[in-house]
Amino acid sequence: MVRPRNVNRHKAEKETPDWEQEAFESRTDIKKAAQAVTDLGGQLADLSPETLKTFALPDEVEAAVLTLRKLKKGPAIKRQRQFVGKLLRQNEPLLPGIKQRFLELEQAANRQNAHLHKLEKWRDRLVSEGDAALSALIDADPTLDRSHMRQLIRNAQREASAGKPPKASRQIFQYLKELYL
């Protein structure tokens, strides 16, 4: 019986090296690191122009990224992405700051999502438990409009029992969002 050569062979994934390091083990590592920098440029192009301003990029790099944002389809996108990657590699001292800023943006988004999940849990608890959950929420925040919340909770409970779309539940969430954001 002939056995295939690659059966039960495990090839460990190598981590992509940082472009900023001094020495690479192989040309493949150099290419992977250069591609990672090009991908970082693509991530910059995905940001809004206002967020891009917070990165404090040189004018040439910022203009190239904005040009990349404008392109819609075709081979020009690939060329422009490579050009942005080239500019970033030429401005190597910027890379750690850009990576750090992306990390900060990701952490801020995670905090925002966690906060919104907390508000959703409060909304679900208010609809399911009613006055008990409302009193707990009022203990946490006495400035809450008790009568308005009670009305929204009653409406949400009626909608849930009737199988209607959750309009009042959305209103509860929006009200909580206005209060706590």
Q: Is 147 helix (H, G, I), strand (E, B) or coil?
A: helix
Q: List Cα–Cα distances, 70 to 63, 83, 123, 159, in angstroms.
A: 11, 15, 41, 45
Query: Cα–Cα distance between 71 and 4 in angstroms, integer?
Result: 46
| Two tokens, residue 23 | 């020495």
Report pLDDT for 181. Answer: 67
- Give the pLDDT score at 2: 64
What's the pLDDT score for residue 38? 93
Which residues in the chain show pLDDT less than 70?
Answer: 1-4, 6-8, 181
Give the model's pLDDT for residue 85: 94
pLDDT computed for residue 88 by the predictor = 93
